Structure 1
Amino acid sequence: MQHSSTQDTLVGLFVAAGIAGLFFLALHVSNLGSFVEQEGYTITARFENSGGLKIKSPVSAAGVKIGQVSDISFDLKTYESIVKMRINAQYNSIPDDTTASIFTAGLLGEQYVSLEPGGSNEYLKENSTIEITQSAIILEKAIGQFLFKSAEEKK
């Protein structure tokens, strides 16, 4: 069977398309899919423990992604984690008494910030702070407490 230059070209294009597809899949999975920053506003929340939360982690409300984490820092005075979130501009009517919690997607999935809207008539805007927060639950810590309690009950 003879190889023609047309077959070689088609195989090369197929391989190149496969590599490009894998590249875009990797960008999407790692939350780097969009290089253009969307219009929006930045809000801040303080957590006792931000767990495995990362920059570009999703921010969601009612299960819908409405933004992403833009910065995580440590406050040396209060020993808290300061999480800045960039909320997309179309979600500009989130009440200012909203609560923020850090959850894990699935049992071992990535962590994300979930916003639970309150009932205020005032809305979050640029540089607003969410006052009521719930820190991440650290799986290892919870298992350790369970094992410690189990050992005490057997005594």
Structure 2
Amino acid sequence: MKKNGLEMMVGLFVALGLAAVVFLSFRVAGGGSFLGGAQPTYTVYASFSDIGGLKVKAPVKAAGVVVGRVGKIELDSQSYWARVTLNLDQQYHFSTDVSAQILTSGLLGEQYIGLMQGGDPDDLANGDTITITSSALVLEQLIGKFMTNFAEGNAHSKAASDASETPSTP
């Protein structure tokens, strides 16, 4: 009888552990909670020339607070810019001159959209477009520019030192 009780406790412990792993997997993947419904949202759009590694369900933040999620990312066939759909919580209202930029959490962290409130008294409505945007800084492009500038700098300094070392004829 004592052995059955111990086996029952171990089985319960394993089941609770599996349930916790499943719950945390959904939360990390950006899923909502199991208990409550989703917050009511409104949809706005923003276009970026380069979104870097931005993904669907990435957070939209204002002053570090999550105010929504990225709903959809698609390529505009006319401008060839990325058109990003933002689902913002209805409790947050932003002016029509709000700016959006793609930022990174830490040096190599996840990318998110940061909103900076403007000064216009009119608020964004469902279906409006954010016109003031800043695209993502892509680390590979920055490293490439640095390496190019470094190589050009070395070439110029070598040419200058070679010119100063040429012997003069008496």
Q: TM-score range, shorter-chain basis?
A: over 0.9
Map 1:138-153 to 2 at 5 A: 138-153=138-153
Residue 140 of structure 2 aligns to which amino acid in structure 1? Answer: E
Q: Corresponding residue for 1:56?
A: 57
Aligned residues: 153
Write out aligned runs for 1:24-63 (5 A). Answer: 24-34=23-33, 36-63=37-64
Larger helix share, 1 or 2: 2
Percent of residue pairs bearing the same amino acid type: 43
2:12 corresponds to which residue?
Answer: 13
Deviation at 1:37, TM superposition (A): 3.3
TM-score (ref. length: structure 2): 0.86
Cα distance in 2 for partners of 1:117, 1:4 equals 63
| Cα deviation 1:8-30 (Å, max 9, x = unaligned) | 01100101111111111121122
The match for 1:113 is 113
Higher mean C-alpha deviation, range 26-35 or range 95-104 = 26-35
Q: Give the counterpart letter for 1:17 in structure 2.
A: L
Greater relative contact order (CA < 8 Å, ≥ 6 in sequence): 1
5+ residue gaps in structure 2? 156-170
TM-align CA RMSD? 1.3
**Distance between the aligned counterparts of 1:76 and 1:94, measured in 2?**
28
**2:66 aligned residue:** 65
Q: For 1:149 and 1:33, how far apart are their aligned partners in 2?
A: 46
**Which blocks of at least 5 consecutive residues in structure 1 are unaligned?**
none
Which position in structure 2 is the counterpart of 1:95? Answer: 95
| Distance in 2 (alpha carbons) for counterparts of 1:34 and 1:88 | 16
2:2 and 2:145 map into 1 onto residues whose CA distance is 66
Q: CA deviation at 1:127?
A: 0.3
**Is the radius of gyration larger for structure 1 or structure 2?**
2
Partners of 2:7 and 2:90 lie apart in 1 by 48
Normalised to the residue count of structure 1, the TM-score between the two structures is 0.94
Q: Residues 71-127 of structure 1, C-alpha deviation per residue, up to 9 Å, x if partnerless?
A: 100011101000000000111x21110000001111111110000000000001100
